Structure formats: C-alpha cells, structure tokens
Amino acid sequence: MTTARPADITPTRTDGVLTYAQVGDLPLESGAVLPDVTIGYDTDKYFVISPNMVGGCYGSTGPSSPAPASADPEGRPWGSRFPLVTIRDSVHAEKRLLDALGVKSLHHVIGGSLGGARAAEWAVTYPGLVRSCAVIASGPAATAEQIAWGHMQNLAIRQDPGFAGGDYYPGPGPVTGLALARRIAHTTYRSAAELHFRFGRDAQDGHNVLHPLTAERGRYQVENYLDHHGTKLTNRFDANSYLAINEALLSHDLGRDRGGLDKALARTTCNWTIAYVDSDRLFFPSDSQILAAALPNPVEPAVIHSPCGHDGFLIEHEQLERILATSIEAQDAADEAKPRGRKHLWAVA
C-alpha cells in the first residue's frame, strides 16, 4: 500500500489526518483528496496520511502490479488472477498501515461516496479506534440498483475484445470498454435536471442530429460531454483496477456476517455525521436516511442542496465545509472534556 504524508509530521504528534482520494485511488502528486477541498486542515496540527486503495493503479498493489515470485516466477502482472478486495478488506489493510505508523486513535473518519463506505466500515470494524465518523453521499450497503449500474459498467469492459480475459498487459487493454463504462457511471454521478439545464436537446455546433441517414447523424451536446469524460479516464486509469474498485463498492454491506445492519451499528461508539445530496441518484437520500436511523443514537442527516446529483458533494464546497466544521468542532469539544495524551488521527475517505 502506498501513502503520502507531510515529511515534517510524525505519528507522535497529537492530531492527524488520513486522506483518501474521492474515488479511492489517485496519483499521490495530484493533491485530489477530499479534505484539501472541504476542510482546509492545518498540516502543522494534524498528521496527514493519504493511502491509495488496494486494487487501484497508483502505487498500492493492484491488477497491473507484478505478481510475487510465489504466484508468478516471471513477475507478470496479476491481471485476471487479482483477488476480490472488499471494502472491509481495504479497512483491514489500512489498519495495518496505521499500526505500522504507531497511530492508536482516530479523531475522525470522513468519506464521500466510495470513501463514505470505507469510513462507515472503519467505525463498525474498529469501534475502539474511531471517535467520530462522517459519511457523505453514501449508504449502509450497495443497493440492487447500484449493483445493476455496476454490472453494466463491468460488462462494457469485459466484453471489449481488448480485455483478453483480464490479461491484456502490456497492451493497451479494453480502452473502448473502459470509456463506455465511464460514460455509464458518469450519468449516475449527475442529475437529470442538471443535464437538461446544461445540454437539453442541443446539438454540437455544426452537427445535424436529424440527418436522414442514421449512420451519419451528428451528435448531441450531452453525447459529446459523456465521450469527453470516457476518453479522459482511459488516459489515466487501468481497466482491471476499474473493475477491482467497482467490485469493492458492490461488496459494501455493513451488516454482512454481523447479524444485519442494526446489530452491526450497535457495536459502534463514535459520534456520527450523515449527509446526502438532495438530487443524488446514485446514493439516494433514502440510503443516508436508513443509515442515520439505524444508528444506536439516530441522527438527523444534513442535506447538501445541489442540482448536480451525486457529484454535488464535490461541487458544493461551502455547504460541505459547514457540515464537517460542525462535526469537527463537536469532536474537539468532546476531546477537551477528556484526559489528553492519546494519539489522534483524522481519517478522511
């Protein structure tokens, strides 16, 4: 597992931050982590760690990583042999990272979307470590509809001839399928109202969308928008890693092997903050409401008002800042009332 952290901060300091990229896996140099956008954390005060998710393609072991000699004496990439890594598996791996760094307590675990699933899993799996958990635009488990959307994305990749059963290295792989998967996913990240407002039925400049020959029909603006995002992803992401991270999200279920959601959450002892985007159609508001109501001490979810759908939590910075600031201040106040001397960590997913 690879991680980034400020060189001048050590785990012996009082407070810290563990940061994840929004999608769980981004280049370490990108700086594209949730707290940079929403919290404005003080690296002179908080210990900052940024682990990339196992299964990705930016340093932590993933399908494109060379397999160990015990699995492949020739050191070829894992490819189709890469195992399923669930959200729970990722949390266990991150716990080992924190153990290696000497971190004993988490001031906050904060996550949005996939990161929200990881944050909630942290609170349930290691209740003695987590003091506050904030789950943004996520839910207690992947729903049937989310699994259906994920299935279409996975098929788009696997049915591309370039996929070659997952063993396409060192070739380019299923570029067409990966771009199509991203188009499908990106549609779920935005709202119908926003797409209508931005694009409506407008054609690209110079395109005739009513050409008498369908093979020569021009493109609608919304088609061009999705094509752009599909192509953009293929320039920076591995198709097998897309599958691995997608499967991880589909595996998310806090209640699995724990007697259901209520029993799983009953083991938690942390303070909770739950927030949703009111126009989200990937993680519906009801997903957050179900999680909030099932807590040992139910909370009222905060609402992020945005026309932009699921991505609203990444766009409405000021609203999210206020929500997280309230959570942060509440935990700081709780800590002030307790004896000092523990090691603290902020975990931001």
Task: Could you list the residues known to form a binding site for substrate, using ranges.
Answer: 182, 311
280 is catalytic: yes
C-alpha 139 chain-centroid distance: 12
- DSSP per residue, 74-133: T--B-GGGPPP--HHHHHHHHHHHHHHHT---BSEEEEETHHHHHHHHHHHH-TTTBSEE
CB 121 within 8 A of CB 271: no
Distance CA 120, CA 32 (A): 21
105 is catalytic: no
Distance CA 47, CA 70 (A): 36
User: Can you say which residues are annotated as belonging to the binding site?
Assistant: 182, 311
* Catalytic member of 50, 113, 279, 327: 113
At 285, which helix (H) or strand (E)? helix 285-294
* Catalytic member of 107, 108, 310, 344: 310
Residue 257 CB partners (closer than 8 Å, separation 6+) = none
Cβ burial of 71 (10 Å; 0-12, 13-18, 19+) is exposed
CB 173 within 8 A of CB 239: yes
Looking only at the bridges linking them, the beta strands covering 271-277 and 302-304 are parallel
Distance CA 118, CA 249 (A): 9
191 is catalytic: no
Distance CA 200, CA 300 (A): 35
* Catalytic member of 280, 287, 306, 344: 280
Number of neighbours of residue 7 by Cβ within 10 angstroms: 6
CB 207 within 8 A of CB 251: no
Q: Looking at the annotation, which residues are catalytic?
A: 113, 280, 310
